[in-house]
Amino acid sequence: MTKPVSSVSVTAGDESVSLPIIKGTMGPDVIDIHALSSALGLLNYDPGFVGTASCESKITFIDGEKSLLLYRGYPIEELAERATFTEVAYLLLNEELPNVEQYRHFSQLLKKQSLLHEQIRNFFNGFRRDAHPMAILCGTVGALSAFYHEAVDISNEASRMLSAIRLIAKIPTIAAWAYKYTQGETFMYPRSEYSYSENLLYMMFATPMEPYVMNPVVARAIDRILILHADHEQNASTSTVRLAGSTGANPFACISAGIAALWGPAHGGANEAVLKMLDSIGRKENIPAFIEKVKDKNSGIRLMGFGHRVYKNFDPRAKIMQNACHDVLNELGITHEPLLELAMELEKIALEDPYFIERKLYPNVDFYSGIIFRALGIPSSMFTPLFAVARATGWISQWKEMIEGTQRINRPRQLYTGASLRHFTPISTRD
């Protein structure tokens, strides 16, 4: 733990306590509030964890005012432009970018581990054909814990790393097979000549009938999207993984918990929800009426892909995604994409509206990712699973960091507002 740089004094009644203020490398200072409960018997109340630093981490940094996102210190723009997803996965896991030999070795390990135990095929048959691929992903990743339980010794460094590599390597296969299953198509096995993202495309779209023609533009775009989604500090799903992991549970079970948290429309499910929203708006003329509905709190409708707990300015990933969207459409020769034009008009109108300006609501990564996914031919039910494939790298890096740090069970307290102490009465005497 970093040394305190100053302190703040808190007084409750006649008692006072000095709370240390700790400085990170970047970002706001934090107050260590441990002594609040031990010295004053007080708890810290912060619903939604708006002002809570839940852990110390060296992996990802966000400055929401300056639109800054760093993985291990490297700006997301540089990584998205110049790195491969495999390099980024290595960086998140190992703290440094790989050299040529380390990269070759890591890529080979990922390829070797990308096959699933043959018995895992049986799991898919248990799901309905119309199951959402996220449901299949959540269940099947959790089921990996049944295959690698005794083999995982979380107190052993090599075992932790092997679990991390297994997860990163196998999750694209599970996601692609979840899609194939819902389509009633043959499962395709990963091929060693393909990169991580190429294999993802191959397993989703190839068939045994004919050779698969890889489109390098599409593969590079997918690789970039995976980089943009790889980690995002202590978001809801990552915090879920850390919370589950803090009990010492099997890492695959913890990742399954993270997948469940990601699925919701307020988090990773937003990319699919954005497309549904754009489809329902349909035409530019309908935007003003839709915006009015969003502003009406009784409607329960939100502008999906807008707003973020940390970014109070542009989400840097949304900017990259928007540019990538134009690049990909150009490279694919798509000159007119009505959905993108509708999204850009919606963004323009929202950014000029006082409701969004006052609340500092800007497009987040999900606003454009669905459009680019659709242009790349990815079905909308696979948007969130692909987010999960990317984020698995961040989740397992955060899990490893937690286990390798001062692991203590994450156990929040509460502000209790229920009934005071009362006593049981027999049913015959109750009104």
Residues between 196 and 225 that touch ligand ACO (CB under 6 A): none
User: Are 418 and 197 within 8 A, CB to CB?
Assistant: no
Q: Which two tokens stand for residue 49?
A: 């964890």
Q: How far apart are CA 261 and CA 234, in angstroms?
A: 12
Candidates 141, 222, 278, 365; binder of ligand ACO (CB under 6 A) is: 365
Q: In the 3-class helix/strand/coil scheme, how is 32-75 assigned residue by residue?
A: CCHHHHHHHCCCCCCHHHCCCCCCCCCCEEEECCCCEEEECCEE
Which single residue is written with the structure tokens 């900017």? Answer: 319
Which CB, 32 or 77, lies closer to ligand ACO? 77
Q: How far is the CB of 330 from ligand ACO (least distance, A)?
A: 26
Q: By C-beta, is 236 or 249 nearer to ligand ACO?
A: 236
Catalytic residue among 327, 366, 423, 431: 366
x/- letters, 57..76, toward ligand ACO (CB under 6 A): --------------------
User: At its nearest, how many Å lie between ligand ACO and the CB of residue 228?
Assistant: 10
The 255-294 site mask, x for binding ligand ACO (CB under 6 A), equals -----------xxx-x-----------------------x
- Cβ-based nearer residue to ligand ACO, 20 or 305: 305
Question: Shortest Cβ contact with ligand ACO: which residue?
Answer: 307
CB of 360 to ligand ACO, least distance (A): 8
Residues binding ligand ACO: what is the number (CB under 6 A)? 19
Distance CA 308, CA 268 (A): 12
CA distance 110 to 115: 9
In the residue annotation, 353 being an active-site residue is answered as no
Give the shortest CB-233-to-ligand ACO separation in angstroms. 12
CB of 111 to ligand ACO, least distance (A): 29
CB of 245 to ligand ACO, least distance (A): 20
Single out the residue of 80, 112, 135, 53 nearest to residue 390, CA to CA.
80
Instruction: Tell me which residues in 103-162 interact with ligand ACO (CB under 6 A).
Output: none
Question: Rounded to an integer, what distance in angstroms lies between the CA atom of residue 256 and that of residue 241?
Answer: 8
Catalytic position from the list 132, 229, 308, 315: 308
For 49: left if phi > 0, alpha if psi spans -120 to 50, otherwise beta; the answer is left
Segment (H or E) for 182:
helix 157-183
Of the pair 251, 268, the CB lying nearest ligand ACO is at 268
For residue 264, give both structure tokens: 């919701």
**Considering only residues 366, 372, 376, 403, which one is a binding residue for ligand ACO as defined by CB under 6 A?**
366
301-360 residues in contact with ligand ACO (CB under 6 A) are: 302-309, 359
CB nearer to ligand ACO: pick between 12 and 266: 266
Buried b / exposed e over 337-347, threshold 16 CB at 10 Å, is bebbebbbebb
Q: Candidates 61-69, 121-129, 363-371, 410-418: pick the segment binding ligand ACO (CB under 6 A).
A: 363-371
Confirm if 381 and 175 have CB atoms less than 8 A apart.
Answer: no
Q: Kindly provide the b/e burial profile for residues 301-324, where b requires at least 16 CB atoms within 10 angstroms of the residue's own CB.
A: bbbbbbbbeebeebbbbbbbbbeb
CB of 88 to ligand ACO, least distance (A): 17
Distance from the first to the final alpha carbon of the chain = 57
Find, among 360, 366, 355, 375, the residue nearest to 313 by Cα. 360
Computed on alpha carbons and rounded to an integer, the radius of gyration of the chain in Å comes to: 23
Measured from the CB of residue 45, what is the shortest distance to ligand ACO in angstroms? 16
Q: What element of type H or E holds 291? A: helix 287-295
Decide if 336 is catalytic: no
Q: Which stretch binds ligand ACO (CB under 6 A): 204-212, 241-249, 362-370, 394-402?
A: 362-370
- Shortest distance (Å) from residue 185 CB to ligand ACO: 29
H helices of 298-417, in order, are 316-331, 338-351, 354-358, 365-375, 383-404
Q: 136 or 291: whose CB is closer to ligand ACO?
A: 291
Q: Which is nearer to ligand ACO, 17 or 392 (CB)?
A: 392
Angstrom distance (rounded) from CA 148 to CA 167? 11
Q: Rounded to an integer, what distance in angstroms lies between the CA atom of residue 253 and that of residue 246? A: 12
Q: Which is nearer to ligand ACO, 144 or 260 (CB)?
A: 260
Within 21-60, which residues bind ligand ACO (CB under 6 A)?
48
Q: In the complex with ligand ACO, which residue's Cβ is closer, 2 or 355?
A: 355
- C-alpha span between 142 and 101 (Å, rounded): 32
Interface positions with ligand ACO (CB under 6 A):
48, 266-268, 270, 294, 302-309, 359, 361, 364-366
Question: Which residues are part of the catalytic machinery?
Answer: 308, 366
